Structure 1
Amino acid sequence: MARKPLEEKNYDLIILGGGPAGLAAGIYGGRAKMNTLIIEKGSVGGRAFTTREIVNYPGFPDTTGPELTGIMRDHAEKFGCTITKETIKTVDFSDDMKVLTTRKNKYTAPAVIIATGTEARVLGIPGEKEFTGDGVAYCATCDAEFFQDQHVVVVGSGDQAIEEGMFIAKFAEKITVIVLHEEGILDCNKQAAERAFKHPKMNFVWNSVLDAIYGEDSVEGVKVKNVKTGEINDLACQGVFFFVGLVPQTAFLEGTGLETSSRGYIPTTDLMETNLEGIYAVGDVRDKYLRQIATAVGDGATAATAAERFIEEQKDIQENIMNSDKPLLLSFWTPDYDDSLEKVNAVDKVVAESGLDYKTMEADYTRKKTLASKFGVELNDNKHAAVIIIKDGKKAGELDLAGDIASQLK
């Protein structure tokens, strides 16, 4: 039986991932009247959705992940952003219209924002994979309640490990945190560390790593190795939570030409632009200093705004430049220099007075860098303006603004 053809759906902007970064981009995209789609394979809200307690998001001193991301989702949908739950199968960024396919649909758009975030890192120690779902867990919000009155081991000492460990303590009888560092040294913020040290259910094993997890049908204990002495001890427990770092979700982008760092994160400009035109990256998947909900939201807002301008530029290029019925003088100027616009206006004046059959178009270089790049124009401290000649959609030359303009156009 022949497979049913994929249904093609066209959008102005497609956002991959529905965490805070993706939802913020959806809000800004929808508000800008762009036909915007968010594709999320899991829970809308991303990793933030699984966070039980959020105390550092501005304006929300005491909220939860489901509550905060739920508000964000409602906000995005209010502005007309469509949200669908699907998994991306293939990606093609090679043409002006980017193509993303799922099992049922084929989506296209001139701009794509990657907001796929991260997932918990797997250490691969003996027993970790075998007991996942049977005592081994990575999400406190999802699984903490299943360890009521039990002994739980937490692996890791960063913000997530300590804060989630204290949340698990609301259910568990005892929490033991396995810490690689010397006694008293945690990787989390000072406030969380102080609370954890005072918590009656929180215990710490220093200078140690988890060596193995064992049990019959579910976790019954772990082997803990002291990194200084090499001694291995058994520790009876019923659950193990891993909080040992995150892995960016970029594997599905292999082969697209998109650049990633050695750790798999996506480098961007201040406008969230990647190395591919029309492709942006935001949130935890981006190579950056701080990964928090507040910074993710800023990324999303920036990317959607940049994408809107990019799309408008592409329309201008197609309608006014590529399809121009006359030779075109495309002038680039910048507000950074007083003489920049004067030079461009001087060219326009020559064209008007001479009656030459040229169409003219001006572009602010600071706002039209994609257009400038397309035609190889770069302004700097030594070059404050540029005027290029375009014929049949192609660059045919560039004027010497210090020379006789009229003679160059004849």
Structure 2
Amino acid sequence: MRRLQRELAGFPRPFWVLFFGSVINSLGGGLVFPFLSLYLRQKLGAPMTTVGVIASVWSLAAFPGQLAGGELADRVGRRTMMVLSLLASGATTLGFGLAGTLPAFLALALVAGLTNSAYGPAAGAMVADLVEPQERARAYGLLRITNNFGFAVGPALGGLIAGKSYLLLFTLSALASLAYGAIVFWGTYETKPRDVDLLAQAREGPGGFLHVLRNGPFLLFCALAVMAELPYSQMTMILPVHMKEDFGLAERSFGWVMTTNAGLVALLQYSVSRWAERRPRLRMMALGAALYGLGVGSVVLARGFPWFVASMVLVTFGEMISVPVANAVAADLAPPDLRGRYMAFFGLTWTTGYAIGPVLGGLVVDHLSVRLLWPLMGVLGAVATAGFLLLHRAMGERFSEPACGCAPRTGPCE
């Protein structure tokens, strides 16, 4: 216990502001996000393919939004971009609850994709600025605890509220985003390196996103992360409809499935991160992808609610292993003056997975069979697993080193 207290005491105060403030934000997200497909399907009468298209529009809009957010986080500042993104999130979330037609919802999804996505690169860069490289995997793991604590409570509450009023659901979520924006503004300071120009001049080669695009191993790593994300996306977009329409389970049942996911992360993420950080990173990514594929693929065997919970448990362990490690790799590979851009580009792996995954899942469900979807996703998870293992064999531990081979917080690379 004393060792754990010493480890936690080593993180700076602004990190803990993000840690506790994100509980509020994730609670708001947990209220709404799991029920978006049900809202579109039941309240607005959208077919599953249309649900997938709207989710993909949101994700595709996040491409330029995330890249611009990373660029501005390096130029304007981390805190400024976080606050602006959270304000936009509150506005668009409230708009979802007021939208009465599919075109209006689609337009808001486009705006949300452009603006809300700016938060991630800025937050990831701020953590990298604040935390030493050897502690980053645990730092990102700790933030996942708060995020998933909110999602542990949010879906269960959201399932109850959604049965009474979707407008109330969206309003509460919007207020949570606005509250977190105020916490970030008043509780943190700007962490962007002051000597950005000096760092850029000291680093050889191109700057900006050209530096990212010339990092071949990083790009391959991102491509494999997208492949692993495709199965995961089905658990949040297709699974709730599958449970409702094919098994007659109410919204609260899926809420409890998501609560299982978030609760396990809240309880076990820190221990899993400490275990994973002592092992080769790409092997840990392979293990995470394997658990994704196994968990999603096992949905085809489901006979009732307990089966869905068991599948989510497998997926959750894959998530706890791979996500903090992947964020640490992206942060370590980034020079200090390019952290926002690197975190933005890495964030596109999630965006791409959610752009492709829902449409792919919707097409399979609408034109083939939902029972074919789950084993197909299991195969994709197995392919991603093999890819990470091959990358580990080719690159070894060199892939986890900073891009310039020096500790990112020590100043210009020699």
Using structure 1 for the length normalisation, give the TM-score.
0.21
Higher relative contact order (CA 8 A, sep 6+): 2
**Which one has a larger percent helix, Structure 1 or Structure 2?**
2
Using structure 2 for the length normalisation, give the TM-score.
0.21
